[in-house]
Amino acid sequence: TMVGYETHHDRGALVTLFEDEFWPDQGTAETIAQRVQEAEAGLDEVIGETRVNLVRGDADKGNLGGLVADAIREFTAADVAIQNTGGVRADIAPGKITKRHCLEVLPFGNILETVMVKGEFLKRLFELKVGSYGPSLFVAGVTIEYNPDRAEGDRITSFMVGDKPLDPQADYKLALTNYLAEGQSGFTDMIRNAMAR
């Protein structure tokens, strides 16, 4: 039962509740404001500065996702780091950078994870990314050259991890978010396909 609304029949109705039609309860509003203040304490602290626009874009364009992947790699001391493009949600304009900006860029409660993988697996995984899966990952720690005219699955012509060529039999530390590790963003299919070849 919705107080103050009359519906066309007793079975119910869809009603759009507009924010400007309701006065907030003062006690509830004060409690929420206090909690917001506590949660946002320190978010406006300046932690850095940028002289250029940091733009989301996709893995072919924007520069911000690459910066996020670099930060993940450095924080985890991984050989390679990946970040899905959809997880980077805001741009940062030139000027001071605060913790609030970082929270706007990465608003999800993801946890960073690392896993040891063979070089052969990385090669297969990235063959998928330069193939039909497209550039939907930001990466750090690798330099890849590929020829899109070659057959899918054999497009990578050069694969460097750091400053060394990829060793198919070597172990590499891969860093990623739990979101990707749990198979989101099509990652389950990517891993399944990479392992199957």
What's the whole-number mean pLDDT along residues 169-188? 88
Rounded Cα gap, residues 177 and 77, in angstroms = 14
Using the predicted structure, report yes or no on whether residue 197 has a pLDDT greater than 60: no
Rounded Cα gap, residues 133 and 186, in angstroms = 9
Using the predicted structure, report yes or no on whether residue 23 has a pLDDT greater than 60: yes
State the chain's mean pLDDT as an integer: 90
Contact in structure between 79 and 141 (CB atoms under 8 Å): yes
The values of phi and psi at residue 169, to 5°, are: -95, -5
pTM of the model as a whole: 0.81
Amino acid 13: pLDDT: 79
Rounded Cα gap, residues 108 and 104, in angstroms = 9
Q: Which tokens hold the place of 24? A: 């907030």
Q: How many CA atoms lie within 13 A of 85 on its CB side?
A: 16
Tokens 């985890």 sit on residue: 76
Rounded Cα gap, residues 165 and 122, in angstroms = 12
The gap between the terminal CA atoms of the chain, to the nearest Å, is: 58
The values of phi and psi at residue 92, to 5°, are: -130, 125
**Which tens digits make up the pLDDT trace of 91-111?**
999 999 999 999 999 999 999
Contact in structure between 164 and 79 (CB atoms under 8 Å): no
- Could you tell me how far CA 1 lies from the centroid of its own chain? 42
Amino acid 189: pLDDT: 73
Spell out the residues 6+ positions from residue 139 whose beta carbon is closer than 8 angstroms to its own: 59, 66, 69, 80, 81, 82, 83, 126
